[in-house]
A and B are shown apart, each in its own frame.
Chain A
Amino acid sequence: MKLITAIIQPDRLDAVREALIKHEVFRITVSRCAGRGRAEEIDLYRGAEVAPDLIPKVRIDIACNEDFVEPAIEAICTAARHGDSGTIGDGKIMVTNLEQIVRIRTGERGSEAI
């Protein structure tokens, strides 16, 4: 079991969800977050340009079995990229090992509980 954590641009959320659903990844958790990678974003405040330290992003968490990891990565990468070659700030995908999953309602554990 793996945990896929993707940080993407907020405007690509709809596209990423559609792509994931196409690859039969339905169960996801989405949260708004803010952070800083290489990208900078400029806001305007009474005519002055302001570059905030932290840029709004969307975080997607997907717990899945091994078979789904590559399709999910592929789907997110394609859908989250801006333009053909992508732009700075398109985001990251992190994949980590998942030790245990428990479904609270039934107490099931492991792959069954995903």
Chain B
Amino acid sequence: MQHLRKVSPLVWLFAGIAFPFVISDPTYTTIAIFALLFAAAASAWNIFSGYTGYIALGHAAYFGIGGYALAIICQHWQIPGGYTPFYLVPLCGLLAAIASVPLGAIALRTRRHTFVVITIATFFILQLLSYNLRSLTNGSSGIDFPLILQWAPGFYNLPFYYVALLLTVLALGVSWFVRHSKFGLGLLAIRDDEDRALGLGVRTGSSKLIAFVISAFFVGMVGAVYSYFLGSVQPSFTFDALFDVAIALMVFMGGIGTLTGPILGSLVLESSQQYAALNFTQGSGGLYLIMYGSLFLVVILLLPQGIVPSAKALWARYQATHTASVLPDPSGSGGANPVARSAPGDGMGLATPREEAKA
């Protein structure tokens, strides 16, 4: 069992690397690229919202900044299409992160609902700016990325696929690192009881802001790659309100505050959504919205804890009844769920902040 836990991430990584060779049909690699990009974004969103319990619904703003940054840089310096824009992706993430410092600092002065609403407001401000700052963003007609003429159709998706995979692995790695650091423990303490965490010496203000900036950094990079893959940026697509809801839904579906939940949720949701979009193109988008909304309702009302925590609870129950000795929690993901304080075990052998506070 212990060996399995150590080996399984490598198995998944290998499967991820091998995927485009096994299934080389561009239709499916395109779906995989979108799914992986969302997995990276959801994982990054989870570093802030999942661990601190502050639900940010404005990360589309940083997604948009990343996308626009890359488009503007490419246009301004006349960078040819190809590999070069990929090297600029971290810079775009950095710009998104820089923008998130003041915006996050303002939003984090408030708590709970007011925070959520302010993050939504920041998103709308930036979307308005992308419409209005015509000299920089070219208004509602947007900016096109340089065409990549030298890549053959069969090859085109591969670089994007591996960049998306790299982003996902990086985001997951940072998420794992945060989850296992003292900093991450502080974030979880904020989620459980912010005032008490402050009383116990957690630097709540700076911790929240750092987590916010980290997540904005990754979401910005995802935005850059995503927009480059689509080939253009436009205010309504690059700053998309649905993006906010989509990553929140993915994280909730997989299990908020867990390590693997966001990845699982986004792979399942985004690939099924892309598949549906490919195969049910009829209807003016209304049906799609209804399906999406209904799925959302079902997930929240029936599986409020998400797939990973629910599966863990089931597995724990199975083990308790089928084996004499109860092993420690076997699945690789950690993290207690905010809506499931009574869930058995934390999976990491870490004391929950609440227990620590009592001690």
* A-B complex is real: no
Interface residues of B (CB under 8 A from A): none
Interface residues of A (CB under 8 A from B): none
